[in-house]
Structure formats: C-alpha cells, structure tokens
C-alpha cells in the first residue's frame, strides 16, 4: 500500500480534493500562497505525482492515505486496541470535527479516522472505505445529515450510523432512526463515555 503523507501534508490533500484553490487554502491556514505552493510541491513528491489533478486521482484510488490514525492524532495515547476500526466523521464544523477525532483517537489509537465536511465527501468516502461506524451531524452546509445517513446506508449497509446534533429535536431523532441510524445523540452529551459506548457497539 502507498505510504500516507505526513499529517500536515494530508491537510492540503483534503483541501484540494474538495476543490479548494491555493489562495483559499492559504486563507484557511493563515499561510502565504507561496508557502502553500511549497507544501503542495512536497506533497506531490511524497505521492510520486507532478500535478494537482494526479494527486486528487491518486487519493481517489487510494482513500486509505486520507485516513488519520488515532495514534497520529494523539501525542500520548492512553491505550492500544488490537481491533482496527474504520470511522467516518461527517461535520461541517472543522473545529468540532477535529475535537471529535481527537476524542476517538484518545480511546482507540489503532482506529482509522476519515473526515468529511459535506454529503458528497461523505458518500465518496463511504463507498470507497465502507466504514464500520459513521458519526454524522444532522445539519450540514450543503444538505441535511438525515439525507446523508439515508444515502450512506444505501451504499454501505453494514455501516453503523450515529446522527449527532447541537439542536436535539424529537422530529430529527425520529427521522434519523427512520433513515437507519442506530442512535441520535446531543453534541453536549457526546463525551468520552458516550463515544466509548458508541464505538464498542460498532465493534460487536
């Protein structure tokens, strides 16, 4: 299998896999365009390609390089788990998404964690990696998370889906469970204990 790029370089791969240009990457990361160009050149070298298009195609054919291991997320992992767990986190709030990934990584350093910020990214990854567990925000920028869960279930029936929301609502809960989610959780209650329970359920 191809060698995954370093975590910092992987961030750039996420950006332009989603169609973000160099200027907007620079703005998002508070870097100069020249620095972004230098990072991309180094990334191309790691992947053995010579253009953005080839790098994107490489990522599409090798989705595993987009995953971040729980070990990489943590500086000091709490414990090791023998079972490899593949998790997809879908949330358009990058800060919350990263917090959730760190929380997962703390408990399961061996997990492979994929991130998506919208429905199209989630479905593309879902089809490629068939994750064991998907955590999906109910409100996404392009479409709603309920629709995402429904479509993900169609392409990856074995994926256990948990819909999460900062705005818990009975109707959202009903729709989420109807779409195939195994649980609907309030983000405020999504702490270490609840994440551990969700992951343990996915491993059964």
CATH code of the domain covering residue 151: 3.40.50.2300
Domain around 57: 7-62
| Same domain (yes/no): 171, 189 | yes
76 in a structural domain: yes
Q: What is the pLDDT along the chain (204 residues), one digit of tens a residue?
A: 566 666 666 677 777 666 777 887 777 677 788 888 888 888 888 888 888 888 878 877 877 767 766 655 544 444 344 356 899 999 998 888 888 988 888 887 778 889 998 999 999 999 988 999 999 999 887 678 999 999 999 999 999 999 998 887 888 889 999 999 988 888 888 778 888 888 777 666
Per-residue model confidence (pLDDT) at position 1: 57
What integer pLDDT is reported at residue 107 of this predicted model? 80
- The answer for residues whose C-beta is within 8 angstroms of residue 123's C-beta and 6 or more apart is 148, 151, 152, 155
Please indicate, yes or no, whether residues 119 and 138 belong to a single structural domain of this protein.
Answer: yes
- Assigned domain for 2 exists: no
Residue 71's pLDDT is 56
Q: What pairing do the DSSP bridges indicate for beta strands 183-186 and 160-165?
A: parallel
In this structure, the answer to whether residues 94 and 74 fall within a common structural domain is yes
- Find out whether 152 and 123 touch, Cβ atoms under 8 Å: yes
Q: Quick one: 97 and 57 in the same domain?
A: no
110 and 51 in one domain?
no
Q: What CATH number has the domain bearing residue 21? A: 1.10.10.10
What residues contact residue 96 under an 8 Å CB cut-off, 6+ apart? 137, 187
When divided into structural domains, the chain yields a total of 2
One domain, residues 83 and 37:
no
Of the three residues 62, 79, 107, the one that is the final residue of a domain is: 62
Q: Say if residue 58 is in the same domain as residue 96.
A: no
Cβ within 8 Å of residue 141, ≥6 positions away: 92, 117, 118
Closest CA to 181 of 136, 139, 141: 136
């Amino acid at each position: 299998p191809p060698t995954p790029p370093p975590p910092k370089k992987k961030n750039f791969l996420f950006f332009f896999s989603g169609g973000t240009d160099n200027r907007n990457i620079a703005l998002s990361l508070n870097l100069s365009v020249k620095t972004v160009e230098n990072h991309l050149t180094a990334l191309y070298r790691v992947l053995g390609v010579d253009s953005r298009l080839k790098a994107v195609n490489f990522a599409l054919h090798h989705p595993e390089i987009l995953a971040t291991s729980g070990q990489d997320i943590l500086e000091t992992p709490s414990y090791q788990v023998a079972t490899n767990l593949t998790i997809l986190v879908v949330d358009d709030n990058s800060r919350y998404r990263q917090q959730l990934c760190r929380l997962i990584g703390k408990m399961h350093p061996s997990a492979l964690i994929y991130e998506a910020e919208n429905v199209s990214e989630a479905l593309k990854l879902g089809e490629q990696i068939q994750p064991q567990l998907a955590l999906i925000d109910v409100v996404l920028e392009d479409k709603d998370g309920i629709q995402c869960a429904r479509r993900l279930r169609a392409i990856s029936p074995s994926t256990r889906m948990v819909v999460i929301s900062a705005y818990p609502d009975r109707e959202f809960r009903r729709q989420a469970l109807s779409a195939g989610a195994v649980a609907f959780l309030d983000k405020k209650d999504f702490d270490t204990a609840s994440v551990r329970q969700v992951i343990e359920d996915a491993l059964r």
